[in-house]
């Protein structure tokens, strides 16, 4: 750098503002021809508009309606669990089932005492 440039007072640089302002005011404007060329380029390079995806059939349309009726696949899973539990109870625990059964039907109870009393009452009546 030349010595005189190094020694240029900073305050002198402020005098450049008028030059910069003049340059800003005199900024070149694009000609119509340039605008047309740029827009033609833009048109050539522009990607095609993305087509809207065709409506696809509902993913659930092949389901039997009863699946939907019981709440979809979670309902099917619950139903299967209950079915398997019933099967297991029936096959693996027959004695327990028997105990439960006579508890419900009354088999094995001695009703003789009760019967006598019942007959007495009936006779008296």
Q: List residues near another protein by CB under 8 A.
A: 1-2, 4-6, 8, 12-13, 15-16, 18-20, 22-31, 34-35, 37-39, 41-43, 45-50
Can you read off the two tokens belonging to residue 15?
């005098």
Handedness of CA 116, 119, 123, 125 (dihedral sign): positive
Query: To the nearest whole angstrom, how small is the minimum distance from the Cβ of residue 56 to another protein?
Result: 22
Nearer to another protein, 31 or 123 (CB): 31
Q: How far apart are the first and last CA of the chain?
A: 139
In terms of CB distance, is 35 or 82 closer to another protein?
35
Taking the least distance from each CB to another protein, the nearer of 28 and 125 is 28
Owner of token pair 């349309």: 61
Task: Count Cβ atoms below 10 Å from residue 99 Cβ, excluding itself.
Answer: 12
């Amino acid at each position: 750098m030349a010595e005189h440039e190094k020694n240029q007072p900073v305050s002198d640089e402020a005098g450049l503002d008028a030059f910069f302002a003049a340059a800003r005011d005199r900024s070149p404007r694009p000609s119509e021809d340039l605008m047309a060329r740029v827009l033609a380029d833009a048109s050539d390079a522009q990607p095609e508009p993305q087509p809207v995806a065709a409506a696809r059939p509902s993913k659930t349309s092949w389901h039997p309606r009863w699946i939907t009726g019981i709440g979809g696949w979670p309902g099917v899973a619950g139903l299967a669990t209950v079915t398997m539990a019933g099967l297991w109870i029936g096959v693996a625990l027959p004695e327990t089932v028997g105990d439960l059964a006579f508890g419900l039907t009354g088999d094995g109870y001695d009703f003789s005492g009760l019967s006598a009393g019942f007959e007495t009452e009936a006779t008296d009546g």
